[in-house]
């Protein structure tokens, strides 16, 4: 079970890393939000899933053979973190996109980049 937990957490951290790289590499405001907002949710799912398994199997607190009710409660709390973030994260992302639209920022498209050498015109 330890191996599963480690693999999940490392994969989750890899997704976080990919999200950061994506924020730097993508061309404009709107496309940068894709890795920023969503790779995070995937990384969170994996990391928190790994932690929940780790806690629920009782490795963290005492004897791994005895599963205590406290361990289950902690696992439920960790799962609740994921639930709340999955509700709030799209809402926050939408708010940021909406702010961009209201400010009048046009999205980066391929044609524009060929015409004006990457410069954006609104």
Partner 1 sequence: MSSSEKNNGSSEKFRIIPFIATFVIMLTTWFVFSGKFKIPFIVMGVISSLLVAYFSHDLLFPKRTVFKGMSFTWFKFVTYIPWLIYQIVLANLHVLYLVFHPRMNELINPQIIKFKSKLKKDMAQVTFANSITLTPGTITVYLSVYGDYTIHAIDDASCEGLPGEMEKRVGKIFGE
Residues in contact with partner 1 by CB under 8 A are 15, 18-19, 21-22, 25-28, 30-31, 33-35, 37-39, 41-42, 45, 70, 73-74, 76-77, 80, 86-87, 89-91, 93-94, 97-98, 101, 107-110, 113
Distance of CA 41 to the CA centre of its chain: 3
Q: In whole angstroms, how close is the CB of 3 to partner 1 at the nearest point?
A: 20
Q: In whole angstroms, how close is the CB of 114 to partner 1 at the nearest point?
A: 11
Could you give the CA distance from residue 46 to residue 5 in angstroms, rounded to a whole number?
A: 9
Q: Using the minimum distance from each CB to partner 1, give the nearer residue, 6 or 21.
A: 21
CA dist list (Å): 10 to 16, 68, 91: 10, 26, 27
DSSP summary character for residue 105: P
Q: In whole angstroms, how close is the CB of 5 to partner 1 at the nearest point?
A: 18
Q: In whole angstroms, how close is the CB of 11 to partner 1 at the nearest point?
A: 11
What angle in degrees, to the nearest 10, is found between the helix axes of 40-56 and 69-103?
170
Q: Using the minimum distance from each CB to partner 1, give the nearer residue, 37 or 58.
A: 37
106: buried, middle or exposed (CB in 10 Å: 19+, 13-18, 0-12)? middle
């Amino acid at each position: 079970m330890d191996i599963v937990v480690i693999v999940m957490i490392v994969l989750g951290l890899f997704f976080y890393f990919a999200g950061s790289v994506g924020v730097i590499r993508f061309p404009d405001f709107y496309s940068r939000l894709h890795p920023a907002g969503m790779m995070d949710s995937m990384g969170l799912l994996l990391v928190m899933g790994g932690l929940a398994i780790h806690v629920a199997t009782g490795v963290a607190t005492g004897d791994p053979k005895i599963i205590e009710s406290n361990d289950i409660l902690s696992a439920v709390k960790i799962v609740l973190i994921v639930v709340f973030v999955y509700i709030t994260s799209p809402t926050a992302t939408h708010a940021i996109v909406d702010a961009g639209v209201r400010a009048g920022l046009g999205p980066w498209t391929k044609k524009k980049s060929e015409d004006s050498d990457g410069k954006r015109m609104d």
